[in-house]
């Protein structure tokens, strides 16, 4: 509902529970950054080439965002490998 209204999905979580093992533990920092929106034309039957083109664009944006913020969050020594 929130994601639909604001066009963004947020990770909300705190603490630890045996029922919510995927949530971060207390004291663990979770950092989120947002990149540029990728415009996508809605099609009923997109071609494999169109899907691959958007997927490549998404991967490039992930790497760009990581490279932009990695120093700020203590990962300056890392390289993001996607695929």
Check residues 25 and 64 and name the one with the higher pLDDT: 64
Residue 24 included in any domain: yes
The number of angstroms, rounded, from the C-alpha of 70 to the middle of its chain's C-alpha atoms is 14
Q: Is residue 50 a contact partner of residue 43, using CB atoms and an 8 Å limit?
A: yes
Domain contains 78: no
State residue 30's pLDDT score. 78
Q: Please indicate, yes or no, if residue 79 is contained in any of the structural domains.
A: no
The answer to the question of residue 64 being in a domain is yes
Q: What is the pLDDT of residue 9?
A: 65
Which range marks the domain in which residue 50 is found? 2-69
Residues 62, 81 contacting (CB under 8 angstroms): no
Query: How confident is residue 31, by pLDDT bands cut at 50, 70 and 90?
Result: confident
Full-prediction pTM beyond 0.75?
Answer: no
- pLDDT confidence of 6, banded at 50, 70, 90? low
CA-wise closest residue to 64 among 40, 42, 39, 35:
35
Q: Is 77 part of any domain? A: no
Q: How far apart are CA 27 and CA 20, in angstroms?
A: 16
For the chain, helix (H) and strand (E) counts, in that order, are 2, 0
Question: Is 76 within a domain?
Answer: no
Domain contains 31 = yes
Token output for 81:
């490998």
Given this model, what pLDDT does residue 16 score? 53
Does residue 47 form part of some domain? yes
């Amino acid at each position: 509902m929130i994601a639909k209204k604001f066009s963004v999905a947020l990770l909300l979580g705190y603490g630890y529970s045996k029922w919510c093992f995927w949530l971060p533990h207390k004291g663990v920092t979770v950092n989120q950054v947002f990149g540029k929106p990728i415009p996508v034309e809605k099609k009923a039957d997109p071609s494999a080439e169109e899907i691959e083109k958007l997927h490549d664009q998404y991967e490039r944006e992930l790497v760009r965002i990581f490279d932009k913020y990695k120093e700020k969050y203590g990962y300056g020594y890392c390289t993001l490998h996607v695929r």
